[in-house]
Structure 1
Amino acid sequence: MSVSTHFRPPAVAGLFYPGDSQQLAVEVSALLAECHPPLLHPKALIAPHAGYIYSGPVAAQAYALLTPLRAIVQRVLLLGPVHRVPIHGLATTGADYFRTPLGDVPIDGRAVMEACKLPQVAIHDGAHGPEHSLEVHLPFLQTVLDDFSLVPFAVGMASATEVAQVLDLLWGGEETLIVVSSDLSHYHGYQEAQRLDRQTADDILHLHPLSSHEQACGATPINGLLEAARLRGLRPTLLDLRNSGDTAGDKSRVVGYGAFAFEA
């Protein structure tokens, strides 16, 4: 008996980023070409997840670091907040592939099953279906890495420790990269957003837990990463800190974006 292959189709292609594969490849390559990354060997990244016109230049600063690791990174743990479907704990997937206009990214099914042994993790494809916070990172990863598998987690109501437990379980070696998806402050004036986001960046750089989702929509997975970073001695570096008023929007109501790398 044949077993059908389950694909998670793109939800925001043509909205948050180009839906045409050639146009998407050109746009991602152009964003990366604008970067001049420092010499870092990151174990983990924090990068934003808005439409590329807004946050793409900031996200590219994180992904440009991975070019020297193209053949080394073989698995990506990708965690982002849920925006559409409220959930408890962390939702992973029963899909075999996540699809983008650039192709299909295989899911590490063995790692998914291992994570599901933890009580806070469950397969919940309904949470992934409309969610953009993970999807928008995939074209960057497909561009800067060779063959890699994905372990996706949409993070809902969970503690930092519950997130850190998942990271610890699947930590691996240099073949495993962690990516946390998060924007920063939302809908403040330009100068107020700058002030708030500088404080958030300072908290992250000192491995201090974020106090609320007002600082970052992905505060829960960020705090899980910060807990793991403290335990494993990772050092964070700020790569970029801007907002939509700097990239493509007006300055009256902006969204903040930050890019960070964590190195052992």
Structure 2
Amino acid sequence: MIKVRPTAVAGRFYHRESDLLRQEIVSWLSPRDRDDRLRAVIVPHAGYRFSGQLAADAFSYIQPLADKFRRVILLGPSHTMSFKGVAIPSVDLFVTPLGNVPVDKALVEALRDNPLVSLDDAPHAKEHCLEVQLPFLQQTLGEFSVLPIVYSRAMPWHLEELLNDIWDPDDTLLVISSDLSHYHNYEEATQLDGESMTMIEEFVPRLTPHQACGATGINTLLHLAQSRGWQLSRVGYMNSGDTGGDKNRVVGYVSYLVSQV
């Protein structure tokens, strides 16, 4: 029997109707030249009305590489449960309004004996940070398989080791899902996020959860990129105060591309 992880946040974080969802994503995507050096992206995971355009700005660079990336590793923080290590799902498919995305069983099997990893559907059941990336990937890549990884209490060097064991950056895209600061006023958030972006762009892998909810994932990617001599470029920054949210309680968003030199 095929096990399915149904959508948890369609109708809240993004359109439930497939036509409306596709139209919105297409309206945000921009034509980009192909760059085969691209290896990973950092993208926000808020509701599309707040961070969808900024996420799409990064995914636009993925679209020309649809024939290259047949696998995607999604890495993001648990918002609903606390646990040790990382959780990967036992399901066969993730479902969105745009269709089904198969879970990469070969990569799941490769991690089965890793002591950091639990095969557990519970942390994925209501988690939004990976789900919201899937419609963008479906629109830009078409057909692909995905390894969804949710982490809780894990260290960046442990995740770096895990990814080094399974990630082939020549055919597998790594997507790091993270927002920046949460619930400061507009001016405070802009200053704090500016300091965080300086750390990211100077490859200082010491972000804290106060600076980014997906700090561990970002720090992991910084370790990986620095060890391989890769470069990082910012696509854009904004916060929810720029996209219609309360400017007294904003959430910061940033997108980055990581490329082989």
Q: TM-score range by the shorter chain?
A: over 0.9
One of 128, 132, 145 as aligned partner of 1:132: 128
Q: Identical aligned pairs, as a percentage?
A: 42
Q: Report the Cα distance in structure 1 between the residues aligned to 2:165 and 2:174, rounded to whole angstroms.
A: 12
Map 1:162-241; keep pairs closer than 5 Å. 162-241=158-237
Q: Report the Cα distance in structure 1 between the residues aligned to 2:15 and 2:202, rounded to whole angstroms.
A: 36
TM-score, length of structure 2 as denominator length: 0.96
Q: What's 2:245 paired with? A: 249
Q: Report the Cα distance in structure 2 between the residues aligned to 1:123 and 1:24, rounded to whole angstroms.
A: 31
Q: Report the Cα distance in structure 2 between the residues aligned to 1:145 and 1:128, rounded to whole angstroms.
A: 22
* Contact kept in structure 2, 1:93 and 1:152, CA below 8 Å: yes
One of 8, 14, 19 as aligned partner of 1:17: 14
Q: Report the Cα distance in structure 1 between the residues aligned to 2:22 and 2:192, rounded to whole angstroms.
A: 34
* Contact kept in structure 1, 2:176 and 2:217, CA below 8 Å: yes
Cα distance 1:156–1:200, how it changes in 2: closer, same or farther (>3 A)? Answer: same
Quote how far apart the aligned CAs of 1:209 are. 1.2
Instruction: Give per-residue Cα distances to partners, 1:63-83, cap 9 Å, x unaligned.
Output: 010111011110000000000
Q: Report the Cα distance in structure 1 between the residues aligned to 2:198 and 2:33, rounded to whole angstroms.
A: 19
Give the letter aligned to residue 101 of structure 1. Answer: P
Map 1:1-264; keep pairs closer than 5 Å. 4-32=1-29, 35=30, 37=32, 40=35, 41-264=37-260
Instruction: Give per-residue Cα distances to partners, 1:24-75, cap 9 Å, x unaligned.
Output: 111111121xx46576442010000000000101111110101110111100
Quote how far apart the aligned CAs of 1:211 are. 3.4
Q: Report the Cα distance in structure 1 between the residues aligned to 2:152 and 2:33, rounded to whole angstroms.
A: 33
Q: Report the Cα distance in structure 1 between the residues aligned to 2:43 and 2:140, rounded to whole angstroms.
A: 15
3-state SS in 2 of match to 1:50: coil
* Contact kept in structure 1, 2:34 and 2:65, CA below 8 Å: no
CA RMSD of aligned residues (A): 1.2
3-state SS in 1 of match to 2:208: coil
Q: Report the Cα distance in structure 2 between the residues aligned to 1:173 and 1:86, rounded to whole angstroms.
A: 29
* Contact kept in structure 2, 1:163 and 1:225, CA below 8 Å: no
Give the letter aligned to residue 27 of structure 1. Answer: E
Give the letter aligned to residue 13 of structure 1. Answer: A
Q: Report the Cα distance in structure 1 between the residues aligned to 2:33 and 2:79, rounded to whole angstroms.
A: 32
Q: Report the Cα distance in structure 2 between the residues aligned to 1:189 and 1:47, rounded to whole angstroms.
A: 22
Quote how far apart the aligned CAs of 1:117 are. 2.3
Instruction: Give per-residue Cα distances to partners, 1:81-135, cap 9 Å, x unaligned.
Output: 0000111101001110100000000011010111222210111100000000000
* Contact kept in structure 2, 1:200 and 1:210, CA below 8 Å: no
Q: Report the Cα distance in structure 2 between the residues aligned to 1:38 and 1:216, rounded to whole angstroms.
A: 30
Quote how far apart the aligned CAs of 1:250 are. 2.7
Instruction: Give per-residue Cα distances to partners, 1:9-34, cap 9 Å, x unaligned.
Output: 000000000011111111111121xx
Instruction: Give per-residue Cα distances to partners, 1:123-181, cap 9 Å, x unaligned.
Output: 11000000000000000000000211000100110000111112111221421000000
TM-score, length of structure 1 as denominator length: 0.95
